[in-house]
Amino acid sequence: MKLTLRVWRQRGADAPGHMASYEVDGISQDMSFLEMLDTLNEDLILRGEDPVAFDHDCREGICGACSLVINGDAHGPERTTTCQLHMRSFADGDTIDVEPWRAAAFPVVKDLVVDRGAFDRIIQAGGYITAPTGSAPEAHATAVPKADADFAFEHAECIGCGACVAACPNGSAMLFTSAKVNHLNVLPQGSPERETRVLDMVARMDEEGFGGCTLTGECATACPKGIPLPSIAAMNKEWLRAVRKGPR
Amino acid sequence: MALATRTRTSAPSLWGSTLGKKTVMAVSGLIMLGYLVVHMLGNLKIFFGADEFNGYAHWLRTLGSPFLHHEWALWIVRVVLLAAVVAHAVSAYQLSRLDIKARPVKYVHKRRRASYATRTMRWGGIILGLFIVWHLLDLTTLTVNERAWVGHPYENVLATFSTWYGNTVYIVAMAALGLHVRHGFWSAAQTLGAGSARRERTLKAIANGLAVVLFAGFVSVPVAVMTGMVN
Amino acid sequence: MSSYAHHTTGEPIADTKAPQGPIADRWDRRRFEAKLVNPANRRKHTVIVVGTGLAGGSAGATLAEQGYHVVQFCFSDSPRRAHSIAAQGGINAAKNYRNDGDSVHRLFYDTVKGGDFRARESNVHRLAQISVEIIDQCVAQGVPFAREYGGLLDTRSFGGVQVSRTFYARGQTGQQLLLGAYQALSRQIAAGNVEMHARTEMLDLIVVDGVARGIVARDLITGEISTHYADAVVLASGGYGNVFYLSTNAMNSNATAVWRAHRRGAYFANPCFTQIHPTCIPRTGDHQSKLTLMSESLRNDGRIWVPRAKGDTRPAADIPEAERDYYLERIYPSFGNLVPRDIASRAAKNVCDEGRGVGPGGQGVYLDFADAIRRMGRDKVAEKYGNLFEMYERITAENPYEVPMRIYPAVHYTMGGLWVDYDLQTTVPGLFAIGEANFSDHGANRLGASALMQGLADGYFVLPSTINDYLARHPRRDTVDDTHPEAAATVRETKERLERLLAVDGDRTPDSFHREIGELMWEYCGMARSEQGLRKALDRIPQIREEFWRRIKVPGTGDEFNQSLEKANRIVDYLELAELMCLDALHRAESCGGHFREESQTPDGEAARRDEAFAYAAAWEFTATGTAPVLHKEDLVFEYVHPTQRSYA
């Protein structure tokens, strides 16, 4: 396959950026999208040009590092991570636009790499259960109904890639935040911090400069792990409950 | 040794949070929605003639009597509605500002996102705001009404809908209302935490139903005037 | 021939920290005998932790909870991305919730035996003891393990063991455990007890007067080289499987932290012990950048075969039953497709070497579910393996319900690593190694679902207890800063190395060298090793190294975000580590666990261990690049589990 890539190039956080055009040839259908970019970068290095910077690590769809907007879609046309997107989803001769996640809370570091530290700070605000090592009771001391355990798992699957923010026209982090709130708040172990958790995480989310939720549903459509949109409603409920009760 | 790790929590403030502002929008929106349903049902009285319609308008002013003084009930409704409109608009404005600021750089590759109703919430809201101003000037204060006959709303309504621009403005605004309610009701339900995977279809159906009923109910009046069913 | 192979043998090495006495009491005794640091004094002690995977994340969080000042590093943009996240199967624990005869002693026994009797008994027993506490800890943190309808935890049997002791969270156990540790760490970061440096890579260890006192790190965004000083340094930087270029490791997993520590005096133990996992998705071409593992549970119902005839290129469906060779069932009639990982891997390599492999390049064997679908029905198969089939189809565009899967072995885990004593301290005082970074408790082969167990045991429970003893016995001495000659020299060497990489401006990319060394290692130091092959590799590696420094091309500068420079710098270390791995494989003239020497086989082609000559852990001392290292042997004594030869025929 021969393709034309239009890639966002930006030398650093404060540098101006632009879309640059590259031709790549000899692309196999079996390549992953990132392997296609590897091919481009090998060429660029040999030509003495700066290779395209992009985040990636596990390349099996679980670490959440890869983060490309491909033809306007976070992670591209398939519902998966960029690293699990294969070139068979494209046709010979296609022009493909590759851009970084766009959100005020995710400033560009270089080219296609953004800073997602805001997500870490949301977790730091309350996305945990206070259980110092050694203090844990016997695991079977508290039974957790299977339905609750499954609900927790469904939300715990979030890989923190940020596709939800990238896809949201408001750059909102509601789906990310709600996934963690719901995972921990439904469990009996998470219940003592139920109110403070949601209040603090939402407050931090706002402080980080993410936009508000207008329930466009773009986040859930882009989410490679299928975190469902009702996750947001469930967090709203938790938040309103916490506001009513006040932090304990 | 105790290591405090929860130091941030301060008293939650509704207005200080995007979720709080959304809650304000949802509650004020639902108040207006409730009012609109009643308003629409009242409008349908026009099909039963001038006496019934004008009588209904008069009754509105004596509502709650003798406990409430003349027009007090009406003014209470007006104050509540005004508060709802202001709260709705201010929070919408502030949230929109935040949302636009949160996505300062647009994607080069444009792609159509979300449903039409969702994408038009902001402009639809502005259209509805302007419509309300015109609507009040037309049929409440009668400032711009051609007939402007105090105490005879039936005749004033007929006057409005006998002009092409009156009909156009009204019907366009009602279309905007339908779209706004369609996404707005569902969205409010999510904001207030009523949404869940199980209730998803029911909520969407109610939202669509409300949108259609309100649009059809309101628009039936100008249509009836235009077609001569009401004269 | 390379002079590197002429290594010398130095003084034997021994673990002096494990107490004597009954094995079940040793951990309690060690904890009691260890000196403690007064809680009020702990915040005056700084501990550096490199890495934020299961081991590093849990260690950082726990040390901070105890009151130490922790300074932690990861090269990713967030501590949540470490490759522990990719572990699928589960985590073992001797809870005996099934009442199926499991016990701490059985887990200990299985692990020593599974490691082919090349692990230290005291360490393994402690691991089995702690396994129980790990599950309690993780449940308390909110890790959503699979549960039964009664609300209690579900377990499954894994990796051929006869008890059901593996706890799991669908196919994402590693992710859930890692997020638990990450959240605990996040809590401490928010509380100011952990100073987290993301996108910062350790490039060297600062050793002052023979004691580990800090690290040199590079900010991957600005390129700034910084120094960080501490009372102790903990390496939790993972394994070195990426020396093979293609492996199931993450792209950025690397050996730099452990290799630099090795160069600064930490002995490297059993570097040749690598685990090759039989059920990975085969490569599709030269563009392949990494390999993806599929859970070995697939072998419970899938049948492995290749065509009987060489070069048979017919589609699988057109090959009649009589012309198929279900080779595992044929060679190992009693275990069939469920033979241990190393045996299944080697058998696949053998049939492919015979020219009977399938798929692109003949590097693959079929894993066929046709029988299972006939027997159980498609729905039942989908229920059991649906997510794996989906993953396979996404990567290969082939539907495993209709076409047999193709699998091939791939490097998965490294049992070798920095030599540590019972306290997890390396041979450099003040330097600790935990998780996959140490030579660990797995001996020559790791059992399924034991990596997560070891990482968390080290991080949550072992290190936080043992590091106290070191810190208490070595109260803060004089502070070290950049003006200290040894620190300044380390910084200077790091800067010079990077400058040299940038200055060569040759005509080959970092990846091209990485691929070359990886292919060489896979060929000669992979699934089957021979003296001849290893000697060939040992001759070749110095040549590649020489060519590297002549022809490497690294674009850009060192003062910016430069992923090519990161890669090139990691390859510098692979080019030395590869040599040590080959030497270790060459000197160990026996087959054991993941290390198979063609010269050491039983008459029917199975691995033949030679306990009389090799019942030791090989700890290597660095001398100089390209110069033979010194071997220190730690004799392994088996008081509780008596070595036997494995047999699966």
Report whether C521 contacts C414 (CB < 8 A). Answer: no
Residue C361 DSSP class: G
Neighboring chain A residues of B118 at a CB cutoff of 8 Å:
214-217
- For C489, the token pair is 């020299």
Residue A26 DSSP class: S
Report whether C597 contacts C591 (CB < 8 A). Answer: yes
**Residues in chain C, how many?**
649
Rounded to a whole number of angstroms, the distance from the CA of A165 to the nearest CA of chain C is 17
Q: Is C624 helix (H, G, I), strand (E, B) or coil?
A: coil
Q: Is B119 helix (H, G, I), strand (E, B) or coil?
A: helix
Instruction: Identify the pLDDT of residue B2.
Output: 44
Cross-strand pairs, C413: C275
Domain boundaries, chain C: 277-411, 485-614
Residues C508-538: tens digit of each pLDDT: 999 999 999 999 999 999 999 999 999 999 9
Tell me if chain A has a CB within 8 Å of the CB of C435: no
Neighboring chain B residues of C191 at a CB cutoff of 8 Å:
3-5, 7
Residues B110-140: tens digit of each pLDDT: 987 677 888 889 999 999 999 999 999 999 9
Residues B39-85: tens digit of each pLDDT: 999 999 999 999 999 999 999 999 999 999 999 999 999 999 999 99
Assigned fold of A3-110: Ubiquitin-like (UB roll) (3.10.20)
Residue C280 DSSP class: E
Residues C95-120: tens digit of each pLDDT: 999 999 999 999 999 999 999 999 99
Identity of the residue in C81, C248, C561 whose CB atom sits nearest the CB atom of A64? C81
Residue B49 in any domain: the answer is yes
d(CA C165, CA C163): 6
Q: What is the mean pLDDT of residues C137-155?
A: 96
Write the single-letter amino acid at A25.
D
Domain boundaries, chain A: 3-110, 116-245
**Whether C65 and A132 lie within 8 Å, measured CB to CB:** yes
Neighboring chain A residues of C250 at a CB cutoff of 8 Å:
57-59, 63
Instruction: Identify the pLDDT of residue B58.
Output: 94
- The set of residues, in sequence order, having a beta carbon less than 8 Å from that of C98 and lying 6+ positions away, is C155, C163, C164, C165
Mutate to test the interface with A, among C251, C393, C463, C507 (most CBs of A within 10 A): C251
What architecture does CATH give domain C277-411? Alpha-Beta Complex (3.90)
What architecture does CATH give domain C485-614? Up-down Bundle (1.20)
Identity of the residue in B12, B108, B109 whose CB atom sits nearest the CB atom of A242? B12
Query: What's the distance, CA A94 to chain centroid?
Result: 26
Instruction: Look at residue B174 and tell me whether its pLDDT is greater than 90.
Output: yes
Subunits next to B (3 or more Cβ pairs <8 Å) are A, C
Q: What is the mean pLDDT of residues C555-573?
A: 97
Residue B109 in any domain: the answer is no
Query: What's the distance, CA C94 to chain centroid?
Result: 22
Instruction: Identify the pLDDT of residue C29.
Output: 97
Q: Going residue by residue through chain A (248 aa), what tens digit of pLDDT does each one get?
A: 999 999 999 999 999 999 999 999 999 999 999 999 999 999 999 999 999 999 999 999 999 999 999 999 999 999 999 999 999 999 999 999 999 999 999 999 999 999 999 999 999 999 999 999 999 999 999 999 999 999 999 999 999 999 999 999 999 999 999 999 999 999 999 999 999 999 999 999 999 999 999 999 999 999 999 999 999 999 999 999 999 988 76
Neighboring chain A residues of B11 at a CB cutoff of 8 Å:
246-247
- The set of residues, in sequence order, having a beta carbon less than 8 Å from that of C312 and lying 6+ positions away, is C319, C323, C356
Residue B180 in any domain: the answer is yes
Residues C368-391: tens digit of each pLDDT: 999 999 999 999 888 888 888 988
Assigned fold of A116-245: Fumarate Reductase Iron-sulfur Protein; Chain B, domain 2 (1.10.1060)
Task: State the pLDDT confidence band at C2, using cuts at 50, 70 and 90.
Answer: low
Q: What is the mean pLDDT of residues C446-463?
A: 96
Residues C329-349: tens digit of each pLDDT: 999 998 889 887 888 999 999
**Whether A46 and C509 lie within 8 Å, measured CB to CB:** yes
Report how many domains make up chain B. Answer: 1
Q: Cβ of C508: how many Cβ atoms within 10 Å? A: 17
- The CA distances from residue A34 to A29, A56, A58, A216, C475, in Å, are 12, 8, 11, 29, 49
CA angle C338, C343, C347 (to 5 degrees): 100
Mutate to test the interface with C, among A87, A119, A128 (most CBs of C within 10 A): A128
**pTM of structure:** 0.96
Instruction: Look at residue B13 and tell me whether its pLDDT is greater than 90.
Output: no
Residue C215's nearest CA partner among C253, C257, C255 is C257
- The set of residues, in sequence order, having a beta carbon less than 8 Å from that of B208 and lying 6+ positions away, is B182
Q: Of B7-11, C70-74, C124-128, C171-175, which gets the smallest average pLDDT? A: B7-11
Residues C58-80: tens digit of each pLDDT: 999 999 999 999 999 999 999 99
Q: Cβ of B206: how many Cβ atoms within 10 Å? A: 14
Residue B8 in any domain: the answer is no
d(CA B144, CA B142): 6
Instruction: Identify the pLDDT of residue B5.
Output: 54
Q: What is the mean pLDDT of residues C219-240?
A: 98
Task: State the pLDDT confidence band at B1, using cuts at 50, 70 and 90.
Answer: very low
**Whether B4 and C39 lie within 8 Å, measured CB to CB:** no
**Whether C176 and A156 lie within 8 Å, measured CB to CB:** yes
Instruction: Identify the pLDDT of residue C649.
Output: 65
Instruction: Identify the pLDDT of residue B111.
Output: 81
d(CA A218, CA A69): 13
Based on C-alpha coordinates, what's the Rg of chain A?
20
